Amino acid sequence: MRQPTLLTRLRPWFAGLLAGAAGLVYATGGQAAEPALVDADVRAIQNELRRPHAKAILVNVWATWCEPCRTEMPAILAFHRAHLAEGLRLVLISADDETERAQAAGFLAAQGVDFPTFIKRGDDMRFIDALDPRWSGALPASFLFDGRGRLRERWYGEVTRAELDRALQRLSKRKP
Amino acid sequence: MKITIAVAGMLAAALATLATGAAAHAAPEAKNALPLGSSIPSATVKMKSVDGKAVSIRDVAGKRGTLVVFTCNHCPYAKAWEKRIAELANGAAKQGIGAILVNPNDPTNYPDDGFDEMQKRALALHLEVPYVVDDTSNVARAFGATVTPEAFLFGANGKLVYHGTIDDNRADPDQVTAPYLRDALAAVAGGRAPATKETKSLGCGIKFRPRP
């Protein structure tokens, strides 16, 4: 039987170290490798909202050219990091065009985002109404869904960390 | 089949929202947009046009209708549509529909929306209709406008008959399949109600000036 080499023995440790480093980068808000920007139409977004095992889902629609979107992003990410262990899922959807994909990915990486996010494709109206029929389509916009995909709170315009924390607290007190 | 599913999806989303009574945290300036059938709000408010004149919506109202488009210089969505908006606004007058473009944005953090830049843009676009400054953002508030660009078309009786976006493809005019505003203008010019009365698109939130 071949004896395990030093490299073989150390491989699981390296894998764990890399995973931990990635998590540490996100947890501390450091620069990450560019996250995947997945093309998402209405169906993909609806499927994401129906994906199980989340206590709450915050959807944020943003774009690189939207200054308030960029301004609020650190607060949204800090909110996500603080409540990740409690079952909060964050769904970031970029409204950038294909020509802006690289900028979008670069911006997210600079914010420390290392999980897949979405870039909207398809008809605007269907997308807007699928998230919230009351929404005019103005950016930025954020939507808090409960674990069953029901819309509970919405923010049209920039949102603050304090507002998000309070909203999540209200949601946690609601009967399922 | 796809249309049925889309409609079902939209209905489901609408019903779910109503049922859950989701709390809304709108920007303080936002309110519900003007309902169809409404009269022109702030119709006599004078706004400074790029040619230096003070103009109100009533001043430009046409015999067959009136088009008000909230738009601006800096927003990429508004810029993507600006040639089409200019063409439609210029053409509206020839159909007896008065038109006015209103910039509601606070230029403090968006210098591209300053008056000098508006003048340059109007020239570059060969605008033949007033491009005015909503210098308190209150006209936009009165309309319930929230995004740029956002069009409001009133019929001959001064009632709102179309509200929404320009068409279904901001990126490529040659790929437009639903020219919503063009069709609405043609309908109003012909004394008919537009077939599509309300539309939406993504866009830049209006940068409202602080209330005094």
Find the chain A residues whose C-beta atoms sit closer than 8 A to any C-beta of B.
Answer: 42, 46, 61, 63, 65-68, 95, 97, 120, 123-140, 150-159, 163, 167, 170
What is the pLDDT confidence band of residue A52, given thresholds at 50, 70 and 90?
confident
What is the pLDDT confidence band of residue A30, given thresholds at 50, 70 and 90?
low
Q: How far apart are CA A65 and CA A26, in angstroms?
A: 23
What is the pLDDT confidence band of residue B41, given thresholds at 50, 70 and 90?
very high
Q: Looking at residue B27, what is its pLDDT?
A: 55
| pLDDT tens per residue, range A93-119 | 999 999 999 999 999 999 999 999 999
Residue B152 clears pLDDT 60, i.e. is over it: yes
Q: How far apart are CA B158 and CA B143, in angstroms?
A: 14
Q: Looking at residue B40, what is its pLDDT?
A: 98
Q: How far apart are CA B176 and CA B187, in angstroms?
A: 18
Between A176 and A74, the more confident residue is A74
What is the pLDDT confidence band of residue A51, given thresholds at 50, 70 and 90?
confident
- Look at A129 and B200 and tell me if their CB atoms are within 8 Å: yes
Residues of A in contact with B34 (CB under 8 A): none
What's CA A104's distance to the chain center, in Å?
A: 13
What is the pLDDT confidence band of residue B9, given thresholds at 50, 70 and 90?
very low
Average pLDDT taken over every residue of chain B = 90
Residues of A in contact with B19 (CB under 8 A): 150
- Smallest Cβ–Cβ distance between B76 and the set A65, A125, A132 belongs to A65
Residue A115 in contact with residue A84, Cβ under 8 Å? Answer: no
Contacting residues for B99 by C-beta, under 8 A, at least 6 apart: B60, B62, B66, B67, B68, B69, B88, B89, B90, B92, B93, B129
| pLDDT tens per residue, range B56-94 | 999 999 999 999 999 999 999 999 999 999 999 999 989
B147-169 burial, b at 16+ Cβ within 10 Å, e below that, comes to bbbbbbbbbbeeebbbbbbbbbb
Kindly compute the dihedral angle of the four CA atoms of residues A148, A84, A103, A151, in this order, to the nearest 10 degrees. 20
- Smallest Cβ–Cβ distance between A128 and the set B168, B200, B204 belongs to B200
Between B18 and A54, the more confident residue is A54
Q: Tell me which amino acid residue A168 is.
A: L
Residue B209: count of CB within 10 angstroms of its CB: 19
**What's the gap in Å between the CA of B71 and the closest CA on chain A?**
13
Q: Looking at residue A4, what is its pLDDT?
A: 56
Q: Looking at residue A170, what is its pLDDT?
A: 94
The dihedral built from the CA positions of residue A131, A136, B85 and B51, taken in this order, carries a sign that is negative
Residues of A in contact with B25 (CB under 8 A): 153-156, 159, 163
Q: Looking at residue B209, what is its pLDDT?
A: 95
ipTM greater than 0.85: no
Find the chain B residues whose C-beta atoms sit closer than 8 A to any C-beta of A.
Answer: 6, 9-10, 13-14, 16-17, 19-20, 22-27, 30, 33, 76, 109, 146-147, 150, 165, 168, 171, 199-206
Q: How far apart are CA A148 and CA A51, in angstroms?
A: 9
Residue B18 clears pLDDT 50, i.e. is over it: no
Which range among A113-117, B12-16, B104-108, B125-129 shows the weakest confidence by mean pLDDT? Answer: B12-16
Q: Looking at residue A175, what is its pLDDT?
A: 73
What is the pLDDT confidence band of residue B20, given thresholds at 50, 70 and 90?
very low
